[in-house]
Structure 1
C-alpha cells in the first residue's frame, strides 16, 4: 500500500481517478494543496475558521483535530502538544493553532516545518509555531509513542 501511495504522490502527469481523489480526501491526506481539479469537477473548498464558537468548544474541536491527523507522526506530536498547552492558550493563540493545523493543505509540509526540515512560511511563523517546534525537539526526552488519554470532560466534548 505504501508504495502505491508514494507512486501517486510522485510528480507526474497522471490524473487521479475520482475514487483515488476521494480516498485522499477521506484519509485527510494533505495532497490537495497542489492538486488542481480537472475541468468540470468541483474544487475542494478553502478551509475557513468556524464563526461564533465558544472558547470551550474551540478547545474541544482543536483537541479532537490534533488527535485525528492524516499521518501518525503529526497525530502524536500535535495531540501531545495540545494536551499540554491548549488549556492555557488565549483566544489569539487558539486562532493561530487553528490556522496552523487546518489551513495548510499538506500534512508533510506541516511536519517538515515543525521539525525544521523546511522553513516555515511567514503566515505560520508565530509564537505558537515556535512553541510547537521547541516541543517537537523534546528537550526533556519524554516518551511520546502514543497519544495521551482523554479526561472524562474531554471525552464528553469529542
Structure 2
C-alpha cells in the first residue's frame, strides 16, 4: 500500500468531498513526482540585509555581541562549536583577531560552510583562512577530548 492510499483511507473519514479530492491529488503529486528537480531562479527573489556598520563599536561591546552570535547560530553543531570556542579564546584575542572572527561568523550566509571549514571537510576560502580559523580548526579537533554536549554558562 503506497502513501497516497494510506492518506486517502484516513481522509475518507473527514467530512467534505472537496477537501478529500484536494488532499488526494496533493498526496498523489508528492508520491509520484518526488524526484522532479526544480531549478532555482537565476537571480535571488530576496536580498539578505547586511548588518549596520559597527565601525565605532567598543571592543567590549563587540565581544559581548560575538558571544551572543556564537551561541545563537540556528544550527546546533555551530552553536556548540562556536560557543565553546568563544568561551575559551575570546578574552585572549587581539583586536585584529576579534575583527577576523566577526567577519568569519557574520560573512558567509550559510552556517554549514563555517562548520565544514572548521571540521576541514571543505577547504577554507582564502579570505577566511587566517589565524582565528586555524585556532577554530584546532578547537574543532578537540584533542583534549573535552565534553561539548552543551553550551558553556554565561558569566
- TM-score for the superposition, normalised by structure 1: 0.70
Is 1:12 equivalent to 2:28 in the alignment? no
RMSD, aligned α-carbons: 1.8
- TM-score for the superposition, normalised by structure 2: 0.71
CA–CA separation in structure 2 for the residues paired with 1:105 and 1:49: 17
Q: Which runs of 5+ in 2 are unaligned?
A: 1-36
The counterpart of 1:59, out of the listed 63, 87, 108, is: 63
Q: Which runs of 5+ in 1 are unaligned?
A: 1-10, 16-34, 152-158
| Alignment match, 2:129 | 125
Is 1:136 equivalent to 2:140 in the alignment? yes
Structure 1 runs of 4+ aligned residues shifted over 6 Å read none
Name the CA shift for 1:150/1:106 in 2 (closer, same or farther; >3 Å).
same
Structure 1 residue 59: Cα displacement: 0.5
CA–CA separation in structure 2 for the residues paired with 1:57 and 1:82: 14
CA–CA separation in structure 1 for the residues paired with 2:103 and 2:143: 26
Bigger radius of gyration among the two: 2
- Aligned residue-pair number: 119
